[in-house]
């Protein structure tokens, strides 16, 4: 097996469609799949020491929830289908985190679903898919 496809999940049907597309591409090319759920998080917050302790605890709880509710069931399904798959949950800016992870894993492709932001919000701020297309170190497949 050679190469890896990185799939950005967001817990929506669009993310599941992206995972289905990635599985088809991975099977056809004999590649492994890494599924990733990024929890939006900003490191820039001014907090008291008590708030920082609670924030750290909340971060750990969010990672555990992402693993158990989003990643684990999808990883187990792919494994049952005979796919080589691993999963990662991280905090950060979704597009920047996926780009960094694609570099780290030397991914050959990133696959994401197109999420339903409002047209105005997407025009003003851009979406994760649009940012990935501009920043990614490899091809990006955006699944409708």
Which residue, among 3, 22, 140, has the nearest Cα to 74 in the 3D structure?
22
Residue-wise pLDDT for 54-69, tens only, equals: 877 888 899 999 999 9
> DSSP H helical segments within the chain, as ranges?
13-29, 49-65, 72-80, 94-105, 119-125, 128-135
Collapsing DSSP to helix, strand or coil, 135 comes out as helix
* CATH, domain 4-143, list 3.40.50.300, 3.40.50.620, 3.40.50.2000, 1.10.3720.10: 3.40.50.620
Indicate the pTM of the whole model: 0.86
Question: How far is C-alpha 140 from the geometric centre of its chain's CA atoms?
Answer: 12
Query: CA-to-CA distance for 80 and 102, rounded, in angstroms?
Result: 25
Taking residue 2's Cβ as centre, other Cβ atoms within 10 Å add up to 8
Residue-wise pLDDT for 68-116, tens only, equals: 999 999 999 999 999 999 999 999 999 999 999 999 999 999 999 987 5
Domain chopping of the chain, boundaries: 4-143
**Structural tokens at position 131:** 């940012």
């Amino acid at each position: 097996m050679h190469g890896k496809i990185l799939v950005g999940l967001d817990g929506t049907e669009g993310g599941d469609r992206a995972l289905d597309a990635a599985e088809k591409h991975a099977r056809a090319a004999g590649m492994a799949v890494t599924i990733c759920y990024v929890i939006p998080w900003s490191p820039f917050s001014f907090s008291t020491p008590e708030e920082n302790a609670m924030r750290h605890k909340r971060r750990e709880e969010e990672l555990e929830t992402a693993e158990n509710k989003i990643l684990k069931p999808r990883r187990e399904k792919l494994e049952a289908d005979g796919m080589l798959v691993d999963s990662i949950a991280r905090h950060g800016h979704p597009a920047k985190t996926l780009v960094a992870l694609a570099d780290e894993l030397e991914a050959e492709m990133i696959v994401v679903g197109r999420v339903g932001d409002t047209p105005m919000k997407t025009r003003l701020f851009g979406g994760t898919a649009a940012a990935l297309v501009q920043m990614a170190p490899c091809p990006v497949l955006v699944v409708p």
